[in-house]
Amino acid sequence: MDEAKFMVKKHTTRPKKNKTKAISAKTIVGETDSAKKIIALIYDFDGTLSPKNMQEYAFLPKIKINPKSFWQEVRDLSIERQAEPLITYMHLMYQKAQEKNVQILRDDLVAQGRQVEFCPGVEKWFALINAYVKKQSKDTVQVRHYLISSGLKEIIEGTKIFNHFHNVFASEYYFDAYQLPYPKRVITDTSKTQYLFRINKGVEDVNLSINSHMPEEQRPIPFSQMIYFGDGETDVPSMAVTRQNKGFAIAVYPKQKSAKICKDLFNVGRVDFYAQADYTKGSPLHKRTTLLIDHILCDIKVREEKASLDRDS
Ligand SMILES: [Mg+2]
């Protein structure tokens, strides 16, 4: 989510369906080479792949609510009630719809996803990166794209890019629990990091515990083979976890917005690069991403060479 929405100023309390089965340490042992050669590109959604928040393309217009005043009300209510802003926005969305006598069902949200717009080049980005990794690695390394978003999985499911993701982790509703839909999964900026560890350990089934110990060498996607893309301070926990574990992070800013937050993140060493959220071939973002991919591929080769020496000695 765009951090501007949830910046609490006064009180600083501050692609398919998931088909991936958990990979236990037992299954990974013995298939280390093939299992390890995966690069994961992990994206935030709002402000990173799409210039605006996903609710602003169809949901808020449908109930005739101005986005600025909606997000301001979320901030005000969160402060007043000392409530979690993510739960507050999920509740307020449906409360506002109810006030306007507009019924919005799961299928409506999915249909609204078709109206979500993307930053330049996003729709072709996934094939572009897949082809690059295939060529550079001589088809020995696989790339996966993941999405971790505080936005709504229902809307993301309807977007044109949904099928490009190996997995999507996002907030979700129960649609039949109460009169108003009730949050089923809430992903905040800090809880996003749980999903980084799920990707790292290969435990992507959210019903399985992520907390069991798994030795580093048994984890299918080391952090050093991850690049995290985010647009702001709500991404800081994910960027920090990725980089502290030898992974990479790139901050992006949509053309319509200032680069200041990204520059600030770069200047204090929280990201490796920053660039405008232009995903077209040859853009600075494309060049910096492929540079990091080259770095990761080289690192994989170095580790493989060392491992071959270990085996010989
Ligand atoms: Mg964002």
Domains of the chain with CATH codes: 15-53+118-312 (3.40.50.1000)
Cα of 184 to ligand 1 centre, how many Å? 21
Cα of 105 to ligand 1 centre, how many Å? 25
Cα of 89 to ligand 1 centre, how many Å? 15
Q: In the predicted model, what is the mean pLDDT of residues 138-164?
A: 96
Cα of 198 to ligand 1 centre, how many Å? 20
Cα of 52 to ligand 1 centre, how many Å? 9
Reply yes or no on whether the pLDDT at 49 is more than 90.
yes
pLDDT per position as a tens digit, 252-303: 999 989 999 999 999 999 999 999 999 999 999 999 999 999 999 999 999 9
Residue 180 confidence class, pLDDT cut points 50, 70, 90: confident
Cα of 251 to ligand 1 centre, how many Å? 10
Percent of the residues in the chain that have a pLDDT greater than 90, as a whole number: 78
Cα of 99 to ligand 1 centre, how many Å? 28
pLDDT of residue 141: 96
- What rounded mean pLDDT belongs to the chain? 88
Cα of 62 to ligand 1 centre, how many Å? 23
pTM for the structure as a whole: 0.88
Cα of 266 to ligand 1 centre, how many Å? 16
pLDDT per position as a tens digit, 70-125: 999 999 999 999 999 999 999 999 999 999 998 888 999 999 999 999 999 999 99
Reply yes or no on whether the pLDDT at 18 is more than 60.
no
Residue 25 confidence class, pLDDT cut points 50, 70, 90: very low
Query: What DSSP string runs through the chain?
Result: --HHHH---S---------PPP--HHHHTT-HHHHH-EEEEEE--BTTTBSS-GGGTTHHHHTT--HHHHHHHHHHHHHHHT--HHHHHHHHHHHHHHHTT----HHHHHHHGGG----TTHHHHHHHHHHHHHHHTTT--EEEEEEEEEEEHHHHHTSTTGGG-SEEEEEEEESSSSSS-EEEE---TTTHHHHHHHHHHT---TTS-S-S---GGG-SS-GGGEEEEE-SGGGHHHHHHHHHTT-EEEEEE-TTS-SHHHHHHHHTTS-SEEEES--STTSHHHHHHHHHHHHHHHHHHHHHHHHHHHHH-
Reply yes or no on whether the pLDDT at 212 is more than 70.
yes
Reply yes or no on whether the pLDDT at 16 is more than 60.
no
Cα of 305 to ligand 1 centre, how many Å? 39
Higher local confidence (pLDDT), 49 or 177: 49
pLDDT of residue 239: 97
pLDDT of residue 310: 74
For ion ligand 1, residues whose CB falls within 5 Å: 2, 44, 46-47, 231
Reply yes or no on whether the pLDDT at 196 is more than 70.
yes
pLDDT of residue 28: 37
pLDDT per position as a tens digit, 221-263: 999 999 999 998 899 999 999 999 999 999 999 998 999 999 9
